Amino acid sequence: MVCILASDRSSGEESGSVSSSSSIVFLTPAARAAHLDRRLAELYPETPIPLDHKDAYTLLIAVLLSAQCTDKRVNIQTPGLFAKADNPRDMVKLSVAEIDAHVRPCGLAPRKAQAIHRLSELLLEKHGGEVPRTFEELEALPGVGHKTASVVMSQAFGVPAFPVDTHIHRLAQRWKLTRLGASVEQTERDLKKLFPREHWNALHLRIIYYGREHCSARGCDGMVCALCRELFPERRRAVRVKKV
C-alpha cells in the first residue's frame, strides 16, 4: 500500500489510499479490505471456533441452535444434550420433547428440537450417519440454511466459505465493504470478492470477534472503535445499520 502527501492527493488515488494531514484515507473497498485483513490478523492470530463441539455433527447441532441465540447460551445448553446424544444414532432415540428440554433456552422452540431430530434421521437414512460435505446436501437438511452450511463446511471440513452473521453484516456496512442496506447475500458476495479465498475461514471469525469486542451494535456507531477511526479518520456522521 502506497501513501502520499495530501498535496499530491490526485496522483495517489490509483493506489487506493492517500495521507491527509497525519491520517491515511482509504479510498476504495479494496484498500480498506487489505488494511483490515492485516490488522485483524494482528489482533487475532488465533481463531478458535466460539461454539463448543467435538466433531462435524456436534458443530452442526451447535450452529443450528445458534440461530437468533448467543454462542454463550448455546455452550451452556449443549453439554447436557450431548451427554445424552452426541451422534445421530443416539439423537434419534430421544423424543423431540426430550431434545427440546435441553435446547428450549436457545429459542425458537420446538422447531429447533424438531429439526435436530429429523436431520439426525436423514443423516442415518441418506448419509450413513455422517455429516455431508457439500453445500447442497447440508442445505437440504431441516433447520440448515446457507450460513449454517457455510460454518460447517469451513470449520469442520476446511472448505473456504464466508458465513455472514449479524456482526459481519454490520461491520461490512460500517467499513464500506458493501453498500448500506445490502442484503446478507450481497454482503457475502462482496466480501468474497475483496478478500483472498485462503483467508476466508479465519477472517470471518476475526471479524466476529472484533464486532463483539470493539465494534458492537451499541458500542460503536462507525466513529468510535479503533478500526473505524483508522479507516475513516474524517468521518463525522454516525453510520446507521439495520439489524439482520
pTM of the model: 0.88
**What CATH number labels 56-155?**
1.10.340.30
H or E element: which one contains 19? strand 17-20
**Is there a catalytic annotation at residue 147?**
yes
* Ranges for all domains in the chain classified under CATH 1.10.1670.10: 32-43+163-231
Please pick, among 71, 100, 112, 147, the residue that the annotation labels catalytic. Answer: 147
Instruction: Report pLDDT for 5.
Output: 30
* Ranges for all domains in the chain classified under CATH 1.10.340.30: 56-155
CATH topology of domain 32-43+163-231: Endonuclease Iii, domain 2 (1.10.1670)
Which one-letter amino acid corresponds to residue 106?
Answer: C
Please pick, among 71, 100, 112, 165, the residue that the annotation labels catalytic. Answer: 165
Of the CA atoms within 13 Å of residue 21, those in its CB half-sphere come to: 3
Of the CA atoms within 13 Å of residue 128, those in its CB half-sphere come to: 2
Instruction: Report pLDDT for 23.
Output: 58
Instruction: Report pLDDT for 90.
Output: 98
Q: What cell was used for 50?
A: 466460539
Encode the chain (244 residues) as per-residue pLDDT tens digits.
Answer: 433 333 334 444 445 655 544 457 789 999 999 999 999 999 999 999 999 999 999 999 999 999 999 999 999 999 999 999 999 999 999 999 999 999 999 999 999 999 999 999 999 999 999 999 999 999 999 999 999 999 999 999 999 999 999 999 999 999 999 999 999 999 999 999 999 999 999 999 999 999 999 999 999 999 999 999 999 999 999 998 876 6
**Is there a catalytic annotation at residue 165?**
yes
Q: How far apart are CA 44 and CA 6, in angstroms?
A: 32
